[in-house]
A and B are shown apart, each in its own frame.
Chain A
């Protein structure tokens, strides 16, 4: 609730002022979440690493032919995280891998969320044939085992970064769709939707103005879950050798480490860092998601 505003402001200035107050207020609340802040800091570090990869780690370091280190050297002052089986610095690989993992993860999430929210809203709102067909489609995608479908799609479409993001996106939306559908079903029966109909509002108005804003907190909360699934899926597919062979990702590093027997030779520096990165990013997304849900939902806010 805002304090009385000076009367010389126009309505638009007032609205802008109110919005910036809301942002500041939201940020203040977010800062109150210790775990959310930890997640945000970790994520920021990874994003900076991904964006600044060409600056901090020379792309030359990815070339097998120009590698300077020995085979699976342990960490030293020259190679902080040791070298891989081809003599490249693991740290350089890790930094460049951040790029691919984050990019694929986020892109796949956007695809998945858009499809899931759209299908969920429509299948929940329309009770007739449209809803039934969309619901069956969702169930159909849900019962198909993820990995085989992803492998088939990735093989058919050919290995590239976009393909992997697309494959993960189109296989991971049914969960979101079901969630949004169930929420839509419950909101559809609320009295304010009858009110919106009485106001003369059409279907589009009801969906965009009333149902969508009510499911948005859920979409956001679900986004952070989907990001983690997408990053894990990217790691899995790369580990299975279905990723883009020209790009380094955390998954392909683990694949390399596995195939050269880094475990049997005790070369932990080739396995632990990419594994830790996956865990850290996934964990951070979850922490940020929880904090965001708290801040975004005005009803949760009121209870505290």
Chain B
């Protein structure tokens, strides 16, 4: 197969609500290759999760979708229902945020990990399924006996591991992790992320890791895309984006995390005033302009396109390179 594992091309998702159209994702291009972790960063409501669910066509029926989402070269948005069900989980799987709610409270977790196998490989015998569930749980660092537990008997980190085991059940090529560490404490968070990045290097899957925490992404990802108000405003190698951001919004995100042992960062004015824009009535021009310290008059007239700035980097800001 040629081309990237996941290729999102010109994707726009608009939620049609009673109060008007809400453009949640606007003209997003993104690729994920095998063995690569691509981070998607941004604050709440910037379209990260909508992007994730659209990859498996899980967006609500009221959403209007334009563009193309190619998983292993096939367009998810136009494929038949039967093909789509085959892609769901066997081709690409999701680790949902909030593991407690994504597990059925009245089923043992082992049965839930086995669920995708039952759906996609009905020919497997029960012994084989049980064996693979045990192996999957071991892979994410849980004792296989825990398959007999109910979700409420597990800790938050264990539940999230169960979700990861479930995501791997059918050996997908692409794993989408939608804020997999929300609601976990810092120690458990780093364990779960360790498990996830281990999978990418061991199994060679491609991963899209969604988080609002830019420092986490900088640690684990190969590349990062920063989203603002439904658009990708900066893409680049993870470390570059974190340490030398081009777009003022990426800079503000990066500055929001204290760097230990860097007194300059400690006294620099960090943080970002204002609120994310109302997606129903976006300001003309650059949607970040009202909150941007570097905004000039030209920023408010036309939306800046995403333009390349050096190898593998692009940013959507007209003032990149200016003093």
B98 and A199 within 8 A (CB): no
Assuming the A-B contacts A200-B86, A200-B89, A302-B152, are A192 and B116 also in contact, with contact meaning beta carbons closer than 8 angstroms in the complex? no
Which residues of the partner chain B approach A205 to less than 8 Å between Cβ atoms? 119
B57 → A minimal CB distance (Å): 10
Assuming the A-B contacts A194-B96, A298-B152, A299-B152, are A199 and B116 also in contact, with contact meaning beta carbons closer than 8 angstroms in the complex? yes
- Asked if A190 CB lies within 8 Å of chain B CBs, one says yes
The tally of residues in A whose CB lies under 8 Å from a CB in B reads 33
B105 and A200 within 8 A (CB): no
- Asked if A5 CB lies within 8 Å of chain B CBs, one says yes
Q: In whole angstroms, what is the CA distance A52 to B313 when docked?
A: 86
Assuming the A-B contacts A11-B130, A209-B115, are A299 and B98 also in contact, with contact meaning beta carbons closer than 8 angstroms in the complex? no
A133 → B minimal CB distance (Å): 20
Partner of B88, one of A200, A209, A214, A298: A200
B56 and A198 within 8 A (CB): yes
Which residues of the partner chain B approach A14 to less than 8 Å between Cβ atoms? 130
Q: Which of A214, A217, A298 has the most CB of B within 10 A?
A: A298
Which residues of the partner chain A approach B86 to less than 8 Å between Cβ atoms? 200
- Asked if B94 CB lies within 8 Å of chain A CBs, one says yes
- Asked if B287 CB lies within 8 Å of chain A CBs, one says no
Which residues of the partner chain B approach A214 to less than 8 Å between Cβ atoms? 104-106
CB under 8 Å from chain A, chain B span 116-168: 116, 119-120, 126-127, 130-131, 145-146, 148-150, 152-153, 166
Which residues of the partner chain B approach A195 to less than 8 Å between Cβ atoms? 94, 96, 102-103
- Please name the residue on chain B nearest to A210 by beta carbon: B104
Task: Give the dominant DSSP class at B's interface.
Answer: helix
Which residues of the partner chain A approach B150 to less than 8 Å between Cβ atoms? 298, 302
Q: In whole angstroms, what is the CA distance A194 to B96 when docked?
A: 9
Q: In whole angstroms, what is the CA distance A175 to B85 when docked?
A: 36
B120 and A192 within 8 A (CB): no
- Asked if A191 CB lies within 8 Å of chain B CBs, one says yes
A13 → B minimal CB distance (Å): 10
Which residues of the partner chain B approach A298 to less than 8 Å between Cβ atoms? 105-106, 150, 152
A12 and B96 within 8 A (CB): no
Q: In whole angstroms, what is the CA distance A14 to B131 when docked?
A: 12
Assuming the A-B contacts A2-B145, A190-B101, A210-B104, are A11 and B153 also in contact, with contact meaning beta carbons closer than 8 angstroms in the complex? no
Which residues of the partner chain A approach B102 to less than 8 Å between Cβ atoms? 191-192, 194-195
- Asked if A197 CB lies within 8 Å of chain B CBs, one says yes
Assuming the A-B contacts A1-B148, A10-B127, A11-B126, are A201 and B115 also in contact, with contact meaning beta carbons closer than 8 angstroms in the complex? yes
Q: In whole angstroms, what is the CA distance A208 to B308 when docked?
A: 51
- Asked if B203 CB lies within 8 Å of chain A CBs, one says no
Question: Chain B contact residues (Cβ within 8 angstroms of A): what range?
Answer: 35 or more
B88 and A12 within 8 A (CB): no
Q: In whole angstroms, what is the CA distance A1 to B86 when docked?
A: 34
Q: Which of A194, A198, A210 has the most CB of B within 10 A?
A: A198
CB under 8 Å from chain B, chain A span 185-223: 190-192, 194-202, 205, 209-210, 213-214, 217
Task: Give the dominant DSSP class at A's interface.
Answer: helix
Partner of A200, one of B85, B107, B126: B85
A6 → B minimal CB distance (Å): 12
Q: Which of B98, B101, B106, B146 has the most CB of A within 10 A?
A: B106
Assuming the A-B contacts A192-B102, A298-B105, are A201 and B119 also in contact, with contact meaning beta carbons closer than 8 angstroms in the complex? yes
Which residues of the partner chain B approach A11 to less than 8 Å between Cβ atoms? 126-127, 130-131
Q: In whole angstroms, what is the CA distance A223 to B79 when docked?
A: 44
Which residues of the partner chain A approach B90 to less than 8 Å between Cβ atoms? 200
Which residues of the partner chain A approach B254 to less than 8 Å between Cβ atoms? none
- Asked if B320 CB lies within 8 Å of chain A CBs, one says no
- Asked if B93 CB lies within 8 Å of chain A CBs, one says yes
- Asked if A18 CB lies within 8 Å of chain B CBs, one says yes
B126 and A12 within 8 A (CB): yes
- Please name the residue on chain B nearest to A5 by beta carbon: B145
- Please name the residue on chain B nearest to A1 by beta carbon: B149
- Please name the residue on chain B nearest to A21 by beta carbon: B148
Which residues of the partner chain A approach B296 to less than 8 Å between Cβ atoms? none
B89 and A213 within 8 A (CB): no
Q: In whole angstroms, what is the CA distance A4 to B145 when docked?
A: 7
Assuming the A-B contacts A192-B104, A210-B104, are A199 and B127 also in contact, with contact meaning beta carbons closer than 8 angstroms in the complex? no
B179 → A minimal CB distance (Å): 13
Q: In whole angstroms, what is the CA distance A197 to B96 when docked?
A: 12
A200 and B120 within 8 A (CB): yes
Partner of B148, one of A18, A199, A200, A299: A18
- Nearest 3 CB-CB pairs, A to B? A191-B101, A200-B88, A11-B130
- 8 A-B residue contacts at CB 8 Å? A4-B145, A11-B131, A12-B127, A192-B101, A194-B96, A198-B58, A199-B89, A299-B106
